[in-house]
Amino acid sequence: MASRKRTRRARTAAASMRCRTTWLPALLAGLLLLLGPAVEALGQATDTSSPAAPTPEGEVFDPDLGQAPIGTEPEQATSEDAIEREDATTVEDEDDEEVSNETIRQPGWGSAADQTRAAKRSEADEDCEGTAPPTSRMLGLPGSVGGSEGGSLGWLVLVIAGGALVVAGIAYGLRRTRRSPASRGSLETVATVVGILGGIAGLAVQFVPGIGVHQTPAPEATMAVRDINARIRHAEYAKKVNSEPPELEDRKEVGNVVWLEIHLEGYRDKEPFLQYGLYDPGAGDALLPGTAVEVPIPHAGEDVETQFVPIWLGYPRGERFKAAFRLLDGNRVQAVVETVTMKGSEYRYSCE
């Protein structure tokens, strides 16, 4: 009897050893799969940048940082006299020669802000002598929606670790329900080890900066005009975008607010610029002097980000105008969009 018990124990031990030998490669493979990203990250540069935070309100787009590109300034000297309102009705017809090219290039034709203070006050007083159309309000604020690509590997590791712990729990339950509980089996041991180590690796990859491999998507940018709000006072716009209030004469100037939707991918470490200007359809779509602006687009430093940017455009002197926008990466144009032809206004200042 004793000999049979010893033989049975020997067979059980041999079977257990064969089972452990069978599951050992699986254990090693599981550990390599789970810890591979962390091991690979050790040989790479560690990203020490802080996690991207939501862009603070009013800092998505800052018009105060805008500058005129070189070579787009008005060609004529600044005049003390305001541009005559009647001139605006003669440019629509390209064959009409009543308005010369010198007048079209005069400061104030494209942008009222290019005039002298005396000319601004003169035009504002003239606008208030008649019945000027009412002004409007901005109902929205600039906003940004962003998110980093990647991170799915950490969640995958956590899912695998959770599955391993479930298997270990089932094996443990089956062992405990037996009348004569046997020692812990290899399946239960391997599943427990994989679950614990996988959970640690998954949490590290997901939440610890510098652990895991981060792949930045290829740079891609798109723009679209989503809305246009007419007759917005410059002071109203500056208040809504949290920028410096314009000078006293410029606060009463009115214009259109164009809402741009800018979608960026792979611009985490880039500094894109937005360049825009006004064009006169009645003058062969020529760029209106003094209207070209180049301004940086602050972003949250994320892989994927969509911004809604309001751009205020003061009315030129012509009856019709349109705006074109270019997204620049250095000197390279990444995206181009333009508005439909918009109506100008004889009244470029409000009386409020």
**How many CB atoms sit inside 10 A of residue 277's CB?**
22
Residue ranges covered by each domain of the chain: 2-41+150-207, 63-147+217-343
| Tens digit of each residue's pLDDT (9 = 90 or more) over 178-230 | 655 566 666 667 666 666 666 666 565 555 555 555 566 788 999 999 999 99
Region 263-286 average pLDDT: 89
Q: Rounded to an integer, what distance in angstroms lies between the CA atom of residue 135 and that of residue 249?
A: 16
Q: Domain 63-147+217-343 carries which CATH code?
A: 2.60.40.10
Region 134-151 average pLDDT: 78
**Kind of pairing between the strands at 342-343 and 304-314:** unpaired
In angstroms, the Cα distances linking 218 to 14, 147, 270, 282, 304 are 56, 15, 12, 40, 11
pTM beyond cutoff 0.95: no
Above 70 in pLDDT, residue 119? Answer: yes
Above 90 in pLDDT, residue 326? Answer: yes
Q: Rounded to an integer, what distance in angstroms lies between the CA atom of residue 302 and that of residue 319?
A: 42
- In the chain, beta strands by DSSP E: 143-147, 220-233, 254-265, 273-280, 286-287, 293-296, 304-314, 320-329, 332-338, 342-343
Spatial CA neighbour of 246 closest among 20, 254, 168, 191: 254
Q: Rounded to an integer, what distance in angstroms lies between the CA atom of residue 279 and that of residue 343?
A: 12
What is the share, in percent, of the chain residues with pLDDT greater than 90? Answer: 32
Spatial CA neighbour of 348 closest among 230, 263, 261: 230
- Any idea which of 23-37, 54-68, 144-158, 187-201 has the lowest mean pLDDT? 23-37
Which position has the token pair 């290829």? 218
Greatest mean pLDDT among 92-96, 270-274, 275-279: 275-279
| Tens digit of each residue's pLDDT (9 = 90 or more) over 61-77 | 788 888 888 777 666 66
Pair 295, 282: CB distance under 8 Å: no
Q: Rounded to an integer, what distance in angstroms lies between the CA atom of residue 37 and that of residue 31?
A: 11
Spatial CA neighbour of 60 closest among 141, 172, 123, 131: 141
Spatial CA neighbour of 348 closest among 41, 172, 176, 130: 130
